[in-house]
Amino acid sequence: MTLPAGSGPLAGVKVLDLSWIVAGPTVGRAMADYGATVIRVESPSRVDTARVVGPFHGDEAGVENSGLYGNVNAGKWGLTLDLRVPEAQNIFRRLAVWADIVCESFTAGVLARWQLDDQHLRALKPDLIMLSSTLLGQDGPYNQVSGFGSQGAGMAGIQDLAGWPDRAPAGPFGPYTDYPAPRFALTALLAALDHRNRTGQGVFIDQAQAEGTLQLLAPALIDVKNGGPALERRGNDDPQMSPHGVYPCAPPQGRAESWVAIAVASDDQWTRLAPLIRADGTLSLDERRQRQQEIDEQLAAWTSRRDAREVETVLQTLGISAHRLATTEDAANDPQLAHRNHFRRLPHALHGETVVEASRYILSDTPANPARPAPQYGEHNEQILKDVLSLTDTEIENLAASGALS
């Protein structure tokens, strides 16, 4: 027996997902979306940080209420294993033999101490594909540095680039490396599957999330290497666009503030904007940048007397890039997201219904569909142990008594 197979291009692919928070689980979520059978292994004693991060159902914090956890783990099966317990380690080895792919994000060396690393698992299953995704990789002088994507962004140099030039770095929102890293990892795993299908050989993928994120700074790094200036934080300023910033608008009823982002990318766009704010439409980019404060004040005076939607509509009609600051309420009612069926509603045993995001890409013949909500803690323990490993009730009871499951 085994778990019910999914549908899609990855149907039949079996994944053991030992990663946590966002970067690793996002990879497993994408594979589950396209039909892979993904077992999410969690520690019963160390709660996944994503489970205690909002937004929460009913605005009530709780390990079963996190929208973040629910979003990155939808479509998976849930199993709790305390890998410090030898009996749990044995169960994990048996599941690794069942799996095609093992994903993990432990600090380098932890799984090796339990003999659950790539070297030991591939001795049991030579064609296994294993992804180890950490901030800085499995070796090197900083391989023991652990943390979240915020630390990874700092190590990649990205934190220093966001913020105002006369203030301390603000960094981009959230754990930044958690978002580019899964894209690199997913591509590598698909390539590894293709390699295994052609050669029968397993693959070990050692992903350093901070190093992967450095690829996004490639143009800036090349400039410096060739003697150019180092990229520095500049707030909303852009050397190739002016005006370029975020401007206040008249707040709608019930809101304290409202903003619109505007970017003028050409002299032609400027000639269309200038009459609206009573500015000189003949100014070149260099001249606009020299008078940037004056122009920003003129533009802000114009936007602040108008609703953000009006500003957005007027400027977009003129071919000028503009978009109002969206709230979660705006996103929930956004016609573009609705057209692409971005928010998916799934039945949920505890909450009645939950909402997750759809895949960011649509395959014409095999569109992605999350099969189920994220698992509750240990929700599928018995089903996995019976259907995948054929354990009896007595064996499961003994396993629970050993502390392996809780």
Give the domain ranges of the chain. 14-215+340-401, 244-332
Kindly state the DSSP code that residue 177 receives in the 8-state scheme.
G
For residue 331, the model assigns a pLDDT of 83
For residue 305, the model assigns a pLDDT of 96
The one-letter amino acid at 181: A
pLDDT tens column, 146-183: 888 999 999 999 999 999 999 999 988 888 999 999 99
Q: What is the mean pLDDT of residues 239-245?
A: 96
Burial of 1: CB neighbours in 10 Å, binned 0-12, 13-18, 19+: exposed
Q: What is the mean pLDDT of residues 344-365?
A: 94
Q: pLDDT at residue 90 above 80?
A: yes
CATH of domain 14-215+340-401: 3.40.50.10540
C-alpha span between 39 and 80 (Å, rounded): 10
Structure tokens at 213: 């994120």
For residue 1, the model assigns a pLDDT of 61
Helix (H), strand (E) at residue 20: none
DSSP characters over 179-200: THHHHHHHHHHHHHHHHHHHH-
Residues of the chain above pLDDT 70, percent: 100
For residue 384, the model assigns a pLDDT of 98
pTM listed for this prediction: 0.92
pLDDT higher for 147 or 37?
37
The CA R_g of the chain, rounded to the nearest whole Å, is 25
E strands, 43-168, where? 77-80, 101-104, 129-134
C-alpha span between 167 and 118 (Å, rounded): 45
Tell me the average pLDDT of the chain: 95
For residue 360, the model assigns a pLDDT of 84
pLDDT tens column, 292-308: 999 999 999 999 999 99
C-alpha span between 249 and 197 (Å, rounded): 56
Q: What is the mean pLDDT of residues 208-215?
A: 93
Q: What is the mean pLDDT of residues 310-317?
A: 97
Query: Parallel, antiparallel, or unpaired: how do β-strands 258-263 and 244-249 relate?
Result: antiparallel
C-alpha span between 122 and 193 (Å, rounded): 15
CATH superfamily, domain 244-332, is: formyl-coa transferase, domain 3 (3.30.1540.10)
C-alpha span between 269 and 322 (Å, rounded): 12
Q: What is the mean pLDDT of residues 63-80?
A: 98
Helix (H), strand (E) at residue 262: strand 258-263
Across 110-114, 144-148, 354-358, least confident range: 144-148
C-alpha span between 179 and 205 (Å, rounded): 18
Residue from 22, 20, 64 nearest 377 by CA: 64
For residue 2, the model assigns a pLDDT of 80
Cα dist from 384 to 5, 16, 76, 387, whole Å:
13, 12, 12, 5
For residue 254, the model assigns a pLDDT of 72
Q: What is the mean pLDDT of residues 177-195?
A: 96
Burial of 262: CB neighbours in 10 Å, binned 0-12, 13-18, 19+: buried
For residue 379, the model assigns a pLDDT of 97
